[in-house]
């Protein structure tokens, strides 16, 4: 798994002050994507022990609300196993912090992935330029959904996150 950046004080990609891990790898090729440099799964830097330590040090700060995984697409097929292991470790070590994940896949395409129980909020769907709306909260285009994963898994129907 490769990454491009670890942002340590983000307020744009989820509730509260967050750490954001920008992963490499995406096959959606959304028109006017904000991060096309992240499409190459071999781009950026290897997510090694040093990067993980940097991420966990940032997450340990008491004023950090949680972590957001974005990219690229954290659920790009070659990322999935490492993302699952990372999310499980974050969930176990920082259970009071929230985990958000942005993906271009639809919930219906990924709803059986074993990483989902570790995620609190999932923003799904590709960015669609023709549906871009800068007034939307936590998403870039109207087709995307901000899903409360815990409620969705418990209820068996997609339940949107309300702010």
- Where along the chain do its domains lie? 2-155
Do 135 and 155 meet the contact criterion of CB atoms below 8 Å apart? no
What CATH class is the domain 2-155? alpha beta
Q: Is 65 helix (H, G, I), strand (E, B) or coil?
A: coil
Of the chain, the percentage scoring pLDDT greater than 90 comes to 96
At which residue do the structure tokens 């006017």 appear?
Answer: 32
Place 99 in a pLDDT band, splitting at 50, 70 and 90: very high
The CA-based angle 57-59-62, given to 5 degrees, is 105
Closest residue by Cα to residue 129 from 21, 10, 28: 28
3-state secondary structure of 51: helix
| 9 vs 18: CA distance, rounded Å | 6
pLDDT in tens, 58-70: 999 999 999 999 9
């Amino acid at each position: 798994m490769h990454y491009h950046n670890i942002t340590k004080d983000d307020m744009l990609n989820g509730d509260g002050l967050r750490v954001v891990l920008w992963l490499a790898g995406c096959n959606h090729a959304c028109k006017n994507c904000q991060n096309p440099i992240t499409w190459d799964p071999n781009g950026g830097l290897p997510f090694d022990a040093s990067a993980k330590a940097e991420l966990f040090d940032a997450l340990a700060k008491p004023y950090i609300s949680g972590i957001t995984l974005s990219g690229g697409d954290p659920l790009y097929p070659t990322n999935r196993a490492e993302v699952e292991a990372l999310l499980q470790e974050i969930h176990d070590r920082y259970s009071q912090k929230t985990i958000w994940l942005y993906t271009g896949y639809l919930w219906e395409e990924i709803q059986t992935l074993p990483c989902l129980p570790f995620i609190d909020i999932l923003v799904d769907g590709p960015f669609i330029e023709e549906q871009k709306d800068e007034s939307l909260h936590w998403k870039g285009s109207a087709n995307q959904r901000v899903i409360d994963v815990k409620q969705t898994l418990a209820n068996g129907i997609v339940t949107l996150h309300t702010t």
